């Protein structure tokens, strides 16, 4: 008669590792990213202009993605999760939980930033929220800028981390460099947010909702455009939908 060892565990990952742990990783990773991102704006040294926020956002993103990549993929961005799902890199059952985790993480990160800075500095910088658009005339170029810059980022993510033929262990480095470059290039037009969670948390705590929709519509449109491009043109045989 065979007696089962009490230490024997069922094969395969535990449900916690499959469903809950990735959401925890997305929440904590997004909170940390938004925290340092907001601080880079709230405590921006005079004369650095876009350089300090660009470097901080880029340099923070790489290590966070590297550490959390094996748990959740290190998306930290609802637009990234949407694009990754559309190209087949994320189960649909995890899409909404990822979004909720990222948005909650954005609020937590913005709250932590608010807690460690002086009230006057926080108020003068509108909590690190994206308040660069001040008139209707700025909306079209800002929206186009968000679409283009987010498309650039999502293309790097999908091709560097998801597509089998082109993915690389250096994807976190590529993504970090892309974020830094896009903020430097397009930050003066729209802020180059490229991340609804990064926009939502500070906007909620600072009450800064002017033209906030731009930072949702732009990344969402970019996710759709990039996923179509990868699925139809650039993806490998397992990703591409036509001409296999």
pLDDT beyond 60 at 3: no
pLDDT beyond 50 at 25: yes
Say which residue, 1 or 212, is predicted with more confidence. Answer: 212
| pLDDT tens-place string over residues 91-126 | 999 999 999 999 999 999 999 999 999 888 888 888
The predicted pLDDT at position 46 comes to 65
- Which DSSP string corresponds to 197-244? HHHHHHHHHHT--TTTTHHHHHHHHHHHHHHHHIIIIIS-TTT-SS--
* Number of domains into which the chain is organized: 1
Indicate which CATH number applies to the domain containing 119. 1.20.1080.10
Tokens of 222: 């970019």
The predicted pLDDT at position 74 comes to 96
Query: Any idea what DSSP says for residue 91?
Result: -
7 located within any domain: no
Confidence of residue 44 (pLDDT cuts 50, 70, 90): confident
**The domain containing residue 186 runs over which residues?**
16-234
The predicted pLDDT at position 120 comes to 86
Tokens of 23: 């959401």
243 located within any domain: no
Helices 214-229 & 139-157 angle (0-180, nearest 10): 40
4 located within any domain: no
173 located within any domain: yes
pLDDT beyond 60 at 222: yes
Confidence of residue 4 (pLDDT cuts 50, 70, 90): very low
1 located within any domain: no
Mean pLDDT, residues 157-178 taken together: 95
171 located within any domain: yes
- For 207: left if phi > 0, alpha if psi spans -120 to 50, otherwise beta; the answer is left
244 located within any domain: no
Compute the C-alpha angle 146/147/149, nearest 5°: 65
What percent of the chain shows pLDDT beyond 70?
94
Tokens of 221: 């449109």
6 located within any domain: no
Neighbours of 18 (CB within 10 A): 13
């Amino acid at each position: 008669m065979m007696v089962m060892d009490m230490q024997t565990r069922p094969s395969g990952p535990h449900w916690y590792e499959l469903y809950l742990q990735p959401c925890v990783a997305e929440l904590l990773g997004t909170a940390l990213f938004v925290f340092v991102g907001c601080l880079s704006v709230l405590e921006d040294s005079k004369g650095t202009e876009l350089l300090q926020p660009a470097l901080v956002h880029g340099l923070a993103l790489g290590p966070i993605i590297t550490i959390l990549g094996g748990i959740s993929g290190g998306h930290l961005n609802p637009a990234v999760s949407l694009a990754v799902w559309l190209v087949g890199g994320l189960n649909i059952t995890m899409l909404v939980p990822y979004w909720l985790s990222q948005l909650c993480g954005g609020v937590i990160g913005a709250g932590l930033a608010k807690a460690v800075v002086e009230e006057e500095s926080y108020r003068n910088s509108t909590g690190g929220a994206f308040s660069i658009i001040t008139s209707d005339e700025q909306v079209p170029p800002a929206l186009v800028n968000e679409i283009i810059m987010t498309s650039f980022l999502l293309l790097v993510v999908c091709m560097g981390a998801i597509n089998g033929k082109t993915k690389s262990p250096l994807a976190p480095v590529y993504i970090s460099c892309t974020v830094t470059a896009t903020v430097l290039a397009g930050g003066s037009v729209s802020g180059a947010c490229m991340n609804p969670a990064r926009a939502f948390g500070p906007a909620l705590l600072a009450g800064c909702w002017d033209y906030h929709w731009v930072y949702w519509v732009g990344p969402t449109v970019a996710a759709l455009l990039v996923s179509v491009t990868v699925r139809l043109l650039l993806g490998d045989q397992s990703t591409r939908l036509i001409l296999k």
